[in-house]
Chains A and B, each alone.
Chain A
């Protein structure tokens, strides 16, 4: 298993290289540059050219790319143009990454907890009232646009029943670890819960139909013939088999929380990487955009690896020696 992981990581290196070129070129393709719309309307063309030259934006893309890669290897992603002018990108991301990670972890745990418990209840009570209710509820949440759902939750739990804060991450550099931990938990919970409620539906529907499929398998009959009670058959045999196809998606969903949090972070005023990305996009902040996209690209590759590891852990048939 260890060898496989090392091999997979080595294969990832050229992949990361291609991803970086792709990301850099995409950023170049965006119309305009960071100085557009941020300049004094009275500045003359020469001033703009001087600024572009100072930033290296007048060079051909491949030279810009090489400069960028060399800097990235030194941990230097450049400085922000518009979002937080003059501050190093690595510093901005460093500040923003933990709130997103913590929210992502809570959201993923809640998602799978909701999906698994609902799917089990549904499958155990197929076609009964509770099953029909859960199916309808999950169809409903998948039919509502996510941001609408986010606003409803925001209004409900911040204004109508004010039990959660309306913005912020609850992280304060001057405070100790525990204050920050619980402060962040308090601030991250509502957006995480909302994301979880919303993204439960796809896992739920998938898991429910898998559970029903697995229930009809021969090995279930064998277990019943041994005298195992139906609820134990679900717990020991069916659930794990039904979970197999989903396990391969968990890795992606863990690393995918960064991208998926854009709407939620913006709506809930939770300044993490998702919100940063939205700001950077509208401000054409190249350095931040490329850095975030590179991060996302690398994370996706690791997500794939993580998924493979999880699948192999759950399913002995795909374990590689």
Chain B
């Protein structure tokens, strides 16, 4: 039995807006085993980062309520105090953020920013300087002495993201959360950074939660995929299952909208409409079906069972609408 690094059970997050709690994500169940990469995909506003932020305990407790159970390396996070969270962050879990320029303090030397990640948990570590250099080496920076003395604005985007990864790795966490780690980078650098994340994950045998809306990145890195829409997981399974045998209408729409799946000359599919806002979300229905105008109203308005259906071993789909869904209907309606 593989070691479970992340176990999320029935996780919900509510935001307080004008003294009213609105549910942003609901009933999330996810597991990441040691040495595995789980990709969480979905449009902006589907709740991917909200979930990741709750694993880090970085929501403002005054405006947020996290319920359910999140266990990282066996330790329950829901209900931890701020102090306990401070001790946990950066030790059991490290996070890589989207924009490496704004995510680094512009006034602090690179070396000091990495060193802080170590000293904050181990005040008088005499090895800090060496450890910073080793970390910089680990993330593929050769001139570690020079870079440690530089400021973020003196580095290129790719170098900065390497530094961010070094910070996330500072205390050798078992779980790494990468929130859109390549979105702010150009294509060549993207490939290098993905390669680096893959190498490190293999070398450390760490678990990775990869948040992205880029399906290329998913196929490159992930072992498992969870597709999120409007605060819920609509489909999850292994990469092969999701890419080769997608079931849920949203998954199928996403894949159809991927530029890689379009033949030259063919028009690229785009999903009509947008993700519903917090106030409009209905967690008992399948919200995505609102964006499929050709589906029968009975199917769209049907209540969705709480349990996801296991269509093949390890491959789960939410609701039953997938049985009625077909892209062919679009053309039929238009004709």
A240 within 8 Å of B (CB atoms): yes
Query: Which one of A219, A227, A316 contacts B90 once the chains associate, using CB atoms below 8 Å?
Result: A227
A224 within 8 Å of B (CB atoms): yes
- Give bound CA distance, A217 to B108, whole Å: 15
Query: Which one of A227, A229, A241, A314 contacts B105 once the chains associate, using CB atoms below 8 Å?
Result: A241
State whether A228 touches B106 (Cβ < 8 A): no
Q: Which residues of A sit under 8 angstroms from B58, Cβ to Cβ?
A: 221, 224-225
Q: From residue 206 to 242 of chain A, which have CB atoms closer than 8 A to chain B? A: 217-219, 221-230, 232, 236-237, 240-241
State whether A241 touches B106 (Cβ < 8 A): yes
- Give bound CA distance, A225 to B97, whole Å: 10
State whether A225 touches B89 (Cβ < 8 A): yes
A3 within 8 Å of B (CB atoms): no
- Give bound CA distance, A228 to B86, whole Å: 6
The chain B residue sitting closest to A228, CB to CB, is: B120
A33 within 8 Å of B (CB atoms): no
State whether B106 touches A219 (Cβ < 8 A): yes
Q: What are 30 residue pairs bridging A and B, where the CB atoms are less than 8 Å apart in the complex?
A: A217-B102, A218-B99, A219-B103, A219-B106, A221-B103, A222-B103, A222-B104, A222-B105, A222-B167, A224-B56, A224-B89, A225-B168, A226-B89, A226-B90, A226-B167, A227-B91, A227-B121, A228-B120, A229-B82, A229-B83, A236-B116, A237-B105, A241-B105, A241-B106, A244-B107, A315-B106, A316-B107, A316-B153, A317-B151, A317-B153
Question: Which 8 residue pairs of A and B lie closest in terms of their CB atoms, listed nearest first?
Answer: A227-B90, A218-B102, A227-B89, A226-B117, A226-B90, A218-B103, A316-B151, A219-B105
State whether B107 touches A223 (Cβ < 8 A): no
The chain B residue sitting closest to A244, CB to CB, is: B107
State whether A222 touches B107 (Cβ < 8 A): no
Q: From residue 143 to 188 of chain B, which have CB atoms closer than 8 A to chain A? A: 151, 153, 164, 167-168, 170
B88 within 8 Å of A (CB atoms): yes
B329 within 8 Å of A (CB atoms): no
Which A positions have Cβ atoms within 8 angstroms of B? 217-219, 221-230, 232, 236-237, 240-241, 244, 314-317
Min distance, Cβ A222 to any Cβ of chain B, angstroms = 5
Min distance, Cβ B135 to any Cβ of chain A, angstroms = 13
- Give bound CA distance, A221 to B49, whole Å: 13
Q: From residue 96 to 133 of chain B, which have CB atoms closer than 8 A to chain A? A: 97, 99, 102-108, 116-117, 120-121
Min distance, Cβ A320 to any Cβ of chain B, angstroms = 14
Q: Which residues of B sit under 8 angstroms from A241, Cβ to Cβ?
A: 105-107
Query: Which one of A225, A229, A314, A315 contacts B95 once the chains associate, using CB atoms below 8 Å?
Result: A225
State whether B88 touches A227 (Cβ < 8 A): yes
- Give bound CA distance, A244 to B153, whole Å: 16
Which B positions have Cβ atoms within 8 angstroms of A? 56, 58, 82-83, 86-91, 94-95, 97, 99, 102-108, 116-117, 120-121, 151, 153, 164, 167-168, 170
Q: Which residues of A sit under 8 angstroms from B89, Cβ to Cβ?
A: 224-227
Query: Which one of B88, B97, B106 contacts A221 once the chains associate, using CB atoms below 8 Å?
Result: B97
The chain B residue sitting closest to A229, CB to CB, is: B86
The chain A residue sitting closest to B101, CB to CB, is: A218
Q: Which residues of A sit under 8 angstroms from B83, Cβ to Cβ?
A: 229
Query: Which one of B88, B153, B164 contacts A222 once the chains associate, using CB atoms below 8 Å?
Result: B164
Query: Which one of B104, B106, B164 contacts A317 once the chains associate, using CB atoms below 8 Å?
Result: B106
Min distance, Cβ B91 to any Cβ of chain A, angstroms = 7
State whether B153 touches A226 (Cβ < 8 A): no
Min distance, Cβ A258 to any Cβ of chain B, angstroms = 32
Min distance, Cβ A41 to any Cβ of chain B, angstroms = 67
- Give bound CA distance, A105 to B153, whole Å: 35
- Give bound CA distance, A93 to B106, whole Å: 44
- Give bound CA distance, A221 to B167, whole Å: 13
Q: Which residues of A sit under 8 angstroms from B167, Cβ to Cβ?
A: 222, 226
- Give bound CA distance, A226 to B89, whole Å: 6
- Give bound CA distance, A317 to B104, whole Å: 13
Min distance, Cβ A26 to any Cβ of chain B, angstroms = 42
A218-B97, A316-B153 known; A228 vs B116 contact (CB < 8 Å): yes
Q: Which residues of B sit under 8 angstroms from A244, Cβ to Cβ?
A: 107
Min distance, Cβ B80 to any Cβ of chain A, angstroms = 12
Min distance, Cβ A247 to any Cβ of chain B, angstroms = 11
Q: Which residues of A sit under 8 angstroms from B117, Cβ to Cβ?
A: 226-227
A228-B86, A229-B86 known; A223 vs B105 contact (CB < 8 Å): yes
The chain B residue sitting closest to A316, CB to CB, is: B151
Q: Which residues of A sit under 8 angstroms from B170, Cβ to Cβ?
A: 226
Min distance, Cβ B128 to any Cβ of chain A, angstroms = 13
The chain B residue sitting closest to A241, CB to CB, is: B107
The chain A residue sitting closest to B150, CB to CB, is: A316
Min distance, Cβ B315 to any Cβ of chain A, angstroms = 33
A226-B167, A226-B170 known; A219 vs B104 contact (CB < 8 Å): yes
